Amino acid sequence: MCKMPCIQDVVYLLMVMTLPFGAADSAGLKLQERGVPKDVIALFATLSTPAYILLPWILSKYAASARPLAMMKAVYLPKVMLGVVSMLLVVICPTNALTRSKAHHAEPGDDEVSMLYYCLCFGILIVHAALSQCIFLGKMSFFSQVSDTSIGGTYMTFLNTVSNIGGNLGQQLGLRALDYLSVRSPTTGEVVVDSFYVTCMLGIIFGVVWF
């Protein structure tokens, strides 16, 4: 099976397509670093659960079409460009307001700023969930269509395993790059260029060029 050129092309696609998403998907860690409490991020994940349940049902009729990869292709660039949104989300993070609010020394208007920012984060999380589900359903539907009916389980298991490895590879490379791409001042040692932004931009450029 692995010697078939078409399978090799699919493996290449699955291993490479998620590389641009790695850094942007780690934005939650960067937000924690800038002062967003872990319990808030955990609450976002809980509140987004209904979206992950309903979206496959809503998108199933599009994924079950004769060209399931068309849906994945349509949302790929928007998912790549979501990296820009992730960077902006980190840039505008109201660290001082969040810190004062957490320390119970909030000034007038801080709670409003924090709540507005939280709503923005949650909205972007829902968009991220929708795009991710489109890509996931497109891949799964494609796997089911191309799998040999006599040994369909073997094809599905192999392709799904490669897909999971590719997804984890993008995240691991993105997190590893964060340790090496920061530019620090030679005198003060302070971070001049944050590696998160560098990694996000590299991922976006790679995704656009590769697409």
Q: In tens digits, what is the pLDDT along the chain, a chain of 211 residues?
A: 666 777 778 788 888 888 888 777 777 777 877 777 888 888 888 888 888 888 888 877 777 776 778 888 888 888 888 888 888 888 887 765 455 445 444 454 444 457 788 888 888 888 888 888 888 888 888 877 777 677 657 777 888 888 888 878 777 777 777 667 666 666 766 666 777 788 888 888 888 888 7
- Which residue, 73, 182, 82, 72, is CA-closest to 123? 82
Domain ranges of the chain: 5-93+114-210
Identify the pLDDT of residue 113: 52
Phi, psi of 88 (to 5 degrees): -65, -35
On whether the pTM is more than 0.95, the answer is no
Tokens of 40: 């808030």
Identify the pLDDT of residue 101: 46
Q: Which superfamily, per CATH, for 5-93+114-210?
A: MFS general substrate transporter like domains (1.20.1250.20)
Instruction: Tell the burial category of 192 from Cβ atoms under 10 Å away from its Cβ (0-12, 13-18, 19+).
Output: exposed
Other CB atoms within 10 Å distance of the CB of residue 165: 14
